[in-house]
Amino acid sequence: MENASMSNQPYANDALPRESAISAVSWAAVFAGAVIAAALSLALFAGGAGLGFLSVSPWGDEGLSAPAVGIGVIAWMLFTQIVAYGIAGYVAGRLRTKWVDVHADEVYFRDTAHGFLVWAVSAVVSAALMGASIVTLASGVAKTGASAAGGAATAAATATAAAGGSGAMEQASDYFADMLLRTDRPDAAGDRADARAEVGRIVAVSLGRGDMTPEDRDYVASVVAAQAGIEPGAARSRVEQAIQQARKAADEARQKAREAVDSARKAAAAFALWGFASMLIGAFVASLAATWGGRRRDTQRLP
């Protein structure tokens, strides 16, 4: 029974695998590779930014187009990942400790892991240093998109009205003040600029609400009839036509704002996906280059 129990053990006492007291990870080589990767990425980023500024122009007939610039940014981002992490992984493979009495497959795995650690450490450090900047940039983009979408109606109303206020609240307050001071008989001899400004405020507030109230419609028609010297019926027709045109302009402005925000969203999504792909490529290149460097390290011979 004792012999049988001994035969079931995975290893005999004299056949236990030997374990090295030294860690399989050469952290000094990993950190050296991560620093190299970060420095090269920064240098290549600066060079790419310089080339990007040289390729664009504020003049419409000069410089690269927006799609060409986007393709160039993606291509340079991939180039940066390949070069920076290729060199960093190779250096880490050359600097790591030489392992003895280790199977060739285990050496290959450890070299691959060293290259992946170089990429991971560099990515974590870069994320920690650039995290605040990325959050600030994303917040600014979100606020810009929200402002563009939410302020489309106000912008269209300001462009349509001849006398736009300095803000929606100011327009609303002026509108209600005009309501308190309205007269039943607009005087054609009155100040045309004041009448124009008052009508503009009424149109702006009406566009913000979506439609013009019957009271406002009748008052604007009476002002138009008095100022333009036309019949009340013709004035009402003119007001209806102007309201329809203003509403159409506001709808077009809102649609353009939505399209601009949607285009920005798609561009940001595409850039994020390409960034994800470039990071995966960087991890692969760093791991592969580390195996090349490690193999070169182990095959060196003294002259």
pLDDT tens sequence across 170-192 = 655 566 555 544 565 666 555 67
pLDDT of the residue at 252:
86
118 is in which domain, residue-wise? 26-149+267-298
Is pLDDT of 3 > 70? no
Q: What is the domain count for the chain?
A: 2
pLDDT of the residue at 161:
43
141-159 tens-digit pLDDT: 556 555 554 554 454 444 4
Q: Are residues 211 and 290 in the same domain?
A: no
Residue 42 lies in a domain: yes
Q: Are residues 238 and 138 in the same domain?
A: no
Q: Are residues 73 and 31 in the same domain?
A: yes
Structure tokens at 258: 């939505």
Q: Are residues 57 and 133 in the same domain?
A: yes
Are 289 and 89 in contact by the 8 Å Cβ rule? The answer is yes
Residue 287 lies in a domain: yes
Q: Are residues 162 and 242 in the same domain?
A: yes
Q: Are residues 247 and 277 in the same domain?
A: no
Residue 54 lies in a domain: yes
Residue 3 lies in a domain: no
Q: Are residues 233 and 290 in the same domain?
A: no
**Length reported for the chain:** 303
Residue 286 lies in a domain: yes
The larger pLDDT score, comparing residue 281 to residue 49, is at 281
Residue 17 lies in a domain: no
Q: Are residues 143 and 282 in the same domain?
A: yes
Q: Which residue type does 251 have?
A: D
Are 281 and 78 in contact by the 8 Å Cβ rule? The answer is yes
Using 50, 70 and 90 to split pLDDT, how confident is the model at 1? very low
Distance CA 263, CA 248 (A): 22
Q: Are residues 241 and 166 in the same domain?
A: yes
Distance of CA 29 to the CA centre of its chain: 34
Q: Are residues 35 and 123 in the same domain?
A: yes
The larger pLDDT score, comparing residue 140 to residue 289, is at 289
Q: Are residues 175 and 141 in the same domain?
A: no
Q: Are residues 140 and 81 in the same domain?
A: yes
